[in-house]
Amino acid sequence: MYPPIEPFEKGRLEVQASPTYIHSLYYEISGNKSGVPVVFLHGGPGGGVDPKDRQFFNPDKCKIVLFDQRGAGKSIPNASTEFNTTWDLVADIERLREKLGIDKWHVFGGSWGSTLALAYAQTHPTRVRSLVLRGIFTLRKSELKFFYQDGASHLFPEEWDRYLAPVDASKRHDMVTAYHALLNSPEEKTRLLAAKAWSRWEMATSKLYVSEDMLRRAEEDNFALAFARIENHYFVNEGFVRDGQLLEEQSIDKIRQIPTIVVQGRYDVVCPATTAWALKTVWEAKPSKSFKLNMVPDAGHSSREAGTEKLLVEATDEVVAKY
């Protein structure tokens, strides 16, 4: 990772979502003011950006744009699910590009950020120079079922029991829907308890070796509420896409010419490697030299694991060096 840096510009993108509802999105720019533009798309949805996210990019060569998506991080209203869909976020990325006067940029996204990167690139392919993706997630029902219903639970039974605890036994056949009710309860205590349990499940399963720092973050009220409520809102609505849409041949045809590097943890249980492989398979079903998949043999889901960090930095260096 590159050394820590501070932004040289911070601002807000005001989005008039309705006549009476405004999302105010926090964004920041760091690195080289005249550098190659790169935009970082954070995970979740609802995760927000972190100062360390700037360190994936060479600050001497890159103009690094980070922003908090609707309801996440420093964007307000916090934890809002109103006017908050995949396609709203795609439109926000394009609004931010236009606001900053950027013609084309490199797009970096991991986990949910990879979903959003694919959706954005498929909508605005002429604005994307390259894609660097991690932990591929495409919102298919099978992916959501594996993590939230029956799959990862076989590997983390003690954490699964914690995740089950807030939900009545009669409703555990559909955990995403059951949590939706809890996270939207009129009782603050119920909402917060559910938010922390939902967030802990992902934090506890994201690394090959469980991170105490990530578990502590799941206990932070503001983070847990935004992360859990927004994430659950997306998943109970199946991501606002048809099942498999981002992997359809006609969708990949729109971006097949874009240089793309994927970094995937072999033991990622949040976004298992099968989805990265599915992306590679459909991408390479037609002649293409633009796609590269790097499997990290000793990593889980998090971008904060040594092998994953190393390959992500190398990927950003590689794509930026061409411009």
- 268 given a catalytic annotation: yes
Q: What tokens appear for 175 in the block?
A: 């955990």
CA distances from 154 to 158, 159, 205 (A): 10, 10, 12
Which entry of 111, 114, 206, 302 is annotated as an active-site residue?
111
Q: Both tokens of residue 102?
A: 């950027």
Q: Is 111 exposed, middle or buried (0-12, 13-18, 19+ CB in 10 A)?
A: buried
CA 253 – CA 22 distance, rounded (Å): 35
Q: Which amino acid is at 150?
A: D
Is residue 106 part of the annotated active site? The answer reads no
Half-sphere exposure of 285 (CA within 13 A, CB side): 13
Q: Is 301 a catalytic residue?
A: yes
**Burial code of 250-279, b = ≥16 C-beta within 10 A, e = fewer?**
ebbeebbebbbbbbbbebbbbbbbebbebb
Tokens, residue 216:
């502590």
CB 278 within 8 A of CB 284: no
Of 53, 301, 302, 303, the catalytic one is 301
> CA–CA separation, 174 vs 177, rounded Å?
6
Tokens representing 321 are 């060096």
**What is the radius of gyration, based on Cα positions, of the chain?**
19
Backbone φ and ψ for 239, nearest 5 degrees, come out as: 70, 5
**How is residue 97 written in tokens?**
């590009």
Residue 238, exposed/middle/buried by CB under 10 A (0-12, 13-18, 19+)?
middle
C-alpha–C-alpha distance, residues 225 and 46, integer Å = 9
What are the DSSP E strand ranges found in the chain? 9-18, 21-31, 36-41, 62-67, 105-110, 128-134, 260-265, 291-296
Query: Looking at the annotation, which residues are catalytic?
Result: 111, 268, 301
